[in-house]
Structure 1
Amino acid sequence: MDAARTAPKPAAPAALAALWSPLDPELLTVREGFMDFVHRKLEPPDLQDCAPKGTKVTDTDPRMIYHGEMIPVSTPDVTQGLKDARRTLRTNRFRPTGKRMSMIIDGCAGKTMLLLQIGRAYQGLLETERRPDSEWTPVVYINVPPRHESNMDWSLPLADFFGMDHTVNIDKRTYRSTDMTEPVIHAMRESRTSLLLIDGIDRIHDSDLAGAFDYFDCLQARLRLSVIYSGRGATDIVNEGLHNRRRSERPRTSEQFRSSLPVMRINPIPFHAGQEEGWRTVLRAYDSNLRLYDHEPGSLLDLEEELHERTGGYMDTLDQLICQTAQQAIEDETEAITKEALDDMFVGRNDPDDD
């Protein structure tokens, strides 16, 4: 996660907000937005540079902005996934011929975070070897489009990433999109794209699987491209897509059809007897990243059972709960995360006594 945490020199108070936003950032599914994500320098604000304790602040105060996102915290599964992806992508880079090995991210919430951090770390590594410019685009990130009935539909999110106009004016009133496959392939070749991140693979309909994976296979055949597929149930979906079979026709329990592609799996973090350390490691990271005036170091670990009960070990829920509670602590000037503050948040599981 060091690539995600690269810190700039300490900033003056007026510049603190710039560490975290624009407040209306570009989408990650366009080149400018993804490049901003790759190059953002993440560092918690220094309390000495912030408004003094007790000062009423607005939602755009640097600490409010910071606690709306905070520095990404790596779970054991994310750490392992980054390591596995680096090994595969390193080998893929130096293969002169043949199709690059694809990868899969499957499991619970947190898949997109791993997918994006892989893309960020991969591009960060390549930028140690060459200076980025306005054309070079080593990583492309797309979401599965809502319509995918033809090659045209698959080409559009790729065209959008590169900022290509794919509409034709008809009678100066209506517009229709055109198949952008050839312009996209030309752009990816010219910009030396070598990694394609496909998020939301679970949105592909059963009837579209064969066509979708034919399209992805075509891209890999024509470009030196590694592909990472991410989505709920992605292992089964990719396996069935590669075999041109509908999900409803394949026995899910049969191992003979399991994908041979490497799978990076995101699971809820356990908190059972003998397995507490992973959860505590995550809480220590959040604890050290908090910037609240009355926060006592280590106090999040005093709430470890409460936090796991509320979140079930799911990182997206934990992140929302901590960020939301921290912002509220700034607003009401309590400046600390407590059990009472957590109980006041409408995030995560309800108290069993309330059922």
Structure 2
Amino acid sequence: MDAARTAPKSVTPAALAARWPPLDPELLTVREGFMDFVHRKLEPPDLQDCAPKGTKVTDTDPRMIYHGEMIPVSTPDVTQGLKDARRTLRTNRFRPTGKRMNMIIDGCAGKTTLLLQIGRAYQGVLETERRPDDEWTPVVYINVPPRHESNMDWSLPFADFFGMDHTINIDKRTYRSTDMTEPVVHAMRESRTSLILIDGVDRIHDSGLATAFDYFDCLQARLRVSVIYSGRGATDIVNERLHNRRRTERPRTSEQFRSSLPVMRISPIPLHAGQEGGWRSVLQRYDDNLRLYNHKPGALLDLEEELHARTGGYMDSLDQLICQTAQQAIEDQSEAITQEALDDMIVGRNDPDNNWD
């Protein structure tokens, strides 16, 4: 279930650079990009294989590239979410009839990270049972575009994932798309797709809510697939679909009706008395993964209060702040993350009197 897979340690700087290419998130919405994401070999570079201390480097230096992303750090919520998803998906695999249990990811920033790590871990489990080939596509990842108002429209992101051409040339100047549902269903059936990840369900407009979920239901009626919905307020959005309710009619308390689907929730990591363990474990992982010549083990833990004050416990802000400061430390050759270096960054909250929503 490891989300990050290790690579051999005997690598050259050139090989390190090739191993950490900048990743365009949009590429995850096509099969080749998602497969590259699943199979990437992630390991911190060995300082002995990098440019010597004091060497002026460019933005494409292996350490610069590495600290732009670093190895994904699992928070307590992500760890629990991976366990919950593993249990549900394992049961779903062996159900010969009936609709498979779907799941929801809701909460603050970090939902996409959990969604993608579930897809990567699930495919990793399946690859222990069979060798991947050019056709096999167990996981499909869809990021909801801004507007989809018909079944024809909803077939297009799936067609794009499989690299299908869905445009018709009209007078050699204008193009229109055609319904790709049948080719998509055929492709997913032939490639043995069993998990669909739908990110950003909060971008589905009220007017298109019923159409969108009807389309997802249609796919499940024709294929043996599980679906994971992710987005801000995803629990209420799915509830409203199941209960034929519009978001504008949502009751003030969402506890008045709950989806029967399991919900994996991402929350900010606290730093309250007696609850410091989660935050410190996250910082420890970042601390272990840093590759700076002057870094002293435990330095990030010494800055735990500052880092929490700056980020509010939100992983997206923490990750950006640490990665950005580490890259700056390489550029200015200080080679360490310090209070002064953090103060120089605009990431996160700089005014301690402000409160996070």
Q: What TM-score, normalized by structure 1, do the two folds share?
A: 0.97
Q: Which range moves more in the overlay, 22-31 or 148-157?
A: 22-31
Number of equivalenced pairs: 354
What is the Cα deviation at residue 152 of structure 1?
A: 1.1
- Quick one: distance in 2 between partners of 1:66 and 1:126? 28
SS at match of 2:28: coil
- Quick one: distance in 2 between partners of 1:211 and 1:242? 13
The one-character-per-residue Cα deviations of 1:131-175 (angstroms, maximum 9, x if unpaired) are 000000000001112221100111110000000000000011110
Structure 2 gap segments, 5+ residues each: none
Contact kept, 8 Å, 1:123 with 1:139, in 2: the verdict is: yes
- Quick one: distance in 1 between partners of 2:14 and 2:115? 33
What is the Cα deviation at residue 23 of structure 1?
A: 6.4
Classify 1:140/1:328 alpha carbon distance in 2 versus 1 (closer, same or farther; 3 Å): same
Contact kept, 8 Å, 2:153 with 2:179, in 1: the verdict is: yes
Contact kept, 8 Å, 1:210 with 1:245, in 2: the verdict is: no
- Quick one: distance in 2 between partners of 1:184 and 1:265? 31
Q: What TM-score, normalized by structure 2, do the two folds share?
A: 0.97
The one-character-per-residue Cα deviations of 1:220-252 (angstroms, maximum 9, x if unpaired) are 010000000000000000111122221112314
- Quick one: distance in 2 between partners of 1:159 and 1:331? 43
What's the % identity of the aligned pairs? 90
What is the Cα deviation at residue 24 of structure 1?
A: 6.0
Moved over 4 A (4+): 22-26
Structure 1 gap segments, 5+ residues each: none
Classify 1:329/1:71 alpha carbon distance in 2 versus 1 (closer, same or farther; 3 Å): same
What is the Cα deviation at residue 129 of structure 1?
A: 0.4
Classify 1:305/1:80 alpha carbon distance in 2 versus 1 (closer, same or farther; 3 Å): same
Contact kept, 8 Å, 1:4 with 1:120, in 2: the verdict is: no
- Quick one: distance in 1 between partners of 2:310 and 2:191? 45
- Quick one: distance in 2 between partners of 1:241 and 1:193? 24
SS at match of 1:104: strand
Contact kept, 8 Å, 2:155 with 2:184, in 1: the verdict is: yes
What is the Cα deviation at residue 7 of structure 1?
A: 2.9
Contact kept, 8 Å, 1:142 with 1:199, in 2: the verdict is: yes
What is the Cα deviation at residue 205 of structure 1?
A: 1.0
Contact kept, 8 Å, 1:135 with 1:191, in 2: the verdict is: yes
Classify 1:52/1:25 alpha carbon distance in 2 versus 1 (closer, same or farther; 3 Å): farther
Name the Cα RMSD after superposition.
1.5
The one-character-per-residue Cα deviations of 1:302-350 (angstroms, maximum 9, x if unpaired) are 0000000000000000000000000000000000000000000010002
Contact kept, 8 Å, 2:169 with 2:175, in 1: the verdict is: yes
What is the Cα deviation at residue 255 of structure 1?
A: 3.4
Aligned match of 1:334: 334
SS at match of 1:130: coil
Q: Which range moves more in the overlay, 240-249 or 295-304?
A: 240-249
- Quick one: distance in 2 between partners of 1:153 and 1:183? 14
Classify 1:94/1:24 alpha carbon distance in 2 versus 1 (closer, same or farther; 3 Å): closer
